[in-house]
Amino acid sequence: MGRRLVVWIGLTIGLLVHSQPLSGWAGPESRRPPNVVLIISDDQAWTDFGFMKHPAIRTPHLDRLAARSAVFRRGYVPTSLCRPSLATIITGLYPHQTGITGNDPPKGSERAAMLHHIRDVPTLPRLLASRG
């Protein structure tokens, strides 16, 4: 099995796992598309995991994954709110750029109307899908 990349992102915790080598990390096998899994856990601090040295919380499965992965311990989101943070994760844009700056749409707006901001820009899921 190839290298894995694990990324923890601020208050919204994300794990980005590549079970195949990333392009440029290894030999010819790196030409295969990586298998990417994004696991998101909300309302936890970055220390709320065993592998992050929490004194009471036990996370044995995540601990094993982290032990075999590259862990970036300084990932941040631009806001502590879920929806704008998730929009940032999939677009790479700041909340003011996506137009999603809160968990709920502004009064008088429909939630579906906010989605055009996401549809109009490249997103991580679409970029990964286009590469197989």
pLDDT in tens, the chain (132 residues): 444 444 444 333 344 444 444 444 455 555 676 667 777 777 777 788 898 899 999 999 989 988 887 777 777 778 888 888 889 888 999 999 988 888 888 788 887 777 777 888 899 889 888 887
Alpha helices in the chain (DSSP H): 60-67, 82-91, 95-98, 111-114, 116-119, 124-130
6 given a catalytic annotation: no
* 92, 101 Cβ separation under 8 angstroms: no
What is the reported pTM?
A: 0.65
Which of the residues 82, 90, 118, 124 is marked catalytic? Answer: 82
